[in-house]
A and B are shown apart, each in its own frame.
Chain A
Amino acid sequence: MDDQPTGFEEFVHVRGLALLRYGFVLTGNRDDGADLVQEALLRLSDAWPRVRSKDDPEGFVRVTMVRLHISRWRRSRRERLVAEVPESSYRDADIERLSGDAGTWRLLAALSPRQRAVLVLRYYEDLSDEDIAARIGVSRNTVRSLAARGLARLRAEPGLPIPDLGSV
């Protein structure tokens, strides 16, 4: 790396994979996810002394990633509202092989980035609504509303018969 403070590379080596996975789950696309991680890491490297002193560089990166992802929603939402997930993202067989549901993964691509981000933070990162609200900078009620709309949209899609047993 160019002029990076000691410790930054180590952080990337240790946590890079987890961040790439987070980026992929957040965006639904490997390239977009990697792009998000790189941009967040670039910002982390700029702020490394300050962030490291607070002992939470990963928190910095994850907050940066989700906020970057949401703040880009206006310019990218049209590309996201597609029926077909880009080929580079995954193959249905791969996700099924890992006990995932390819249909659900495809339907996630139809959600707005904010709805998707809230569902990812709640069901992938296992954060409370209060923590999600703090991370993306909205109220807890907005988090609940986004989660409810996101789940409702997933349930409403034809071809995915899911009984409405849960609540938000």
Chain B
Amino acid sequence: MPETMESRLIRTLRAADALVLPSADDLLTGVARRRRARTRRRAQAVLAAAAVIAVIAGSTLVTGRLRADPPPVGDPSPAIVTAEEAWPGAVTRFPTRSADGLTYTPLLAVDATRTLLLTGPEGGTATRMDLLDTATGVITTVTALDPAAASPTVVTTDGQTAAWLSGTELWQTPLPGGPARRLDDLGKGALPTLMAIDDGKVVWLGGFGSVVDVPLDGSPSEAIFNFSMEGTNRPAMAVWPWLMSTELMRGSPGILTNLMTANNLWVTPADGKGLTACGPEWCTATRAQPTLTPIDPDNPYGGYYVDTGQAPTDLREPGLLSMRTYIQRVDGTGFRESPLTGYSWLAHGGKLITDVRHRFYDPERNQVITLDHLIEVPESVGVGDELVYGRSADPAVSWLVNLKAID
């Protein structure tokens, strides 16, 4: 009887097993080496933090002593600069309307010079996607949108393809142009709020502990798998692809896990209170005023009530304005109050912090970047993926700030 694939596999795996000879002592040595390397990395992080604090405080490492829970420290007043000063080349002006009378709405910064636009009648549903080349000012049509589909919401790109969510449907189109393709209907489960294109697949964090991939070529989803984060029940993601363990929100040390590489970063809340959001470099911590009560204690993004003893009123926006935001590096150093207004959040891969007034704070440069001079029509200002846009006083001209052009 011919041999089956399964039996050949069994004998091959057993043979491979027998190839490995005893070396358990080497294992212990290897584990010890790993432990020392891990300890050394942590010690280096602490030393680096000590050096920074020593410089700031004007003291020396010899006489200085690290505090376990440093109080908020004031940073030297940040420099305030305009977007053009801070980020030459990131600010672009473009026509508000197309030659056929439709309105352009920036959706996504593809790269430093290309911006994806939603194009459609003023106030109506977009009918197509266009691509603005800010280097040449040329706008080309990418694809027509299905009139029956909802307007794109969550959108992502790898530079060659754009993928987006329309209602519960996942779509994609090649950026050089071509028909849009419906990939899947995700149903009413956990819809993505952040997603990416990686190696020909749209990837996002799905329901509890799951990662969902859908191939761009329309083939059935293959890579649906679960992950585990030790001690974590409800990981949150503020910066793709970094998962934040819930311990951090409670003020305890915890981990950030890179969904794509499984790399972990150890995060230490500087003042022992909960962190709101973390990227690989910086974290934010939001402190509500004592009179504010979170709508959902487990959801720091869920807005706040003013607890007046009367019927609660959802004052999400005023609540955001009356809050304070602190920032720190993931290792707990650099703790300070954000110079921005009220509730602020991470932007640009967690390297910047921004607020409801569309100002940015660069904590590395201690620089506040304002768009105030650009905001001539406040009600027109919007935020896309890695961009901010609005209309000028001249209704024929709009502007955008492309954060992918700032590095």
| Residue of A whose beta carbon sits closest to that of B7 | A166
Contact between A123 and B10 (Cβ–Cβ < 8 Å)?
yes
Give the A interface residue count (CB, 8 A).
60
A75 partner residues in chain B, CB cutoff 8 A: 260-262
Which residues, 136 to 167 on A, are CB-close (under 8 Å) to B?
136-138, 142, 145, 149, 151, 154-155, 162-166
Contact between A70 and B225 (Cβ–Cβ < 8 Å)?
yes
Indicate with 1 or 0, residue by residue over A125-140, a CB within 8 angstroms of chain B CB atoms: 0000000000011100
Residue from B20, B28, B199 within 8 A of A24 (CB atoms): B20
B4 partner residues in chain A, CB cutoff 8 A: 162-163, 165-166
Minimum CB–CB distance from A83 to chain B (whole Å) comes to 18
Contact between A124 and B17 (Cβ–Cβ < 8 Å)?
yes
Central interface residue in B11, B14, B17, B19, by most chain A CB within 10 Å: B19
A82 partner residues in chain B, CB cutoff 8 A: none
B34 interfacial contact with A, CB 8 Å = yes
Number of A-B contacts (CB under 8 A): 153
| Known contacts A114-B225, A138-B226; A100 and B261 CB within 8 A of each other | no
A105 partner residues in chain B, CB cutoff 8 A: 12, 15-16
Residue from B11, B35, B223 within 8 A of A101 (CB atoms): B11
Contact between B35 and A94 (Cβ–Cβ < 8 Å)?
no
A65 interfacial contact with B, CB 8 Å = no
Residue from B10, B15, B24 within 8 A of A17 (CB atoms): B24
Which residues, 201 to 219 on B, are CB-close (under 8 Å) to A?
209
Contact between B12 and A95 (Cβ–Cβ < 8 Å)?
yes
Contact between B261 and A74 (Cβ–Cβ < 8 Å)?
yes
| Known contacts A39-B34, A72-B261, A165-B2; A123 and B19 CB within 8 A of each other | no
B27 interfacial contact with A, CB 8 Å = yes
Which residues, 3 to 22 on A, are CB-close (under 8 Å) to B?
9, 12-14, 16-17, 19-22
28 example contacts (A-B, Cβ-Cβ < 8 A) are as follows A1-B28, A1-B32, A1-B35, A12-B27, A16-B23, A16-B24, A17-B21, A17-B22, A17-B23, A24-B16, A25-B16, A34-B27, A74-B260, A74-B261, A94-B19, A101-B12, A104-B8, A114-B223, A119-B9, A123-B6, A138-B225, A138-B226, A151-B5, A154-B9, A162-B2, A162-B3, A164-B5, A166-B6
Known: A12-B28, A38-B30, A98-B15. 19 other contacts (CB 8 A): A2-B36, A14-B24, A19-B27, A20-B23, A24-B20, A34-B27, A42-B38, A71-B262, A90-B19, A99-B15, A100-B16, A123-B9, A137-B227, A137-B228, A145-B222, A154-B5, A154-B9, A162-B2, A162-B5
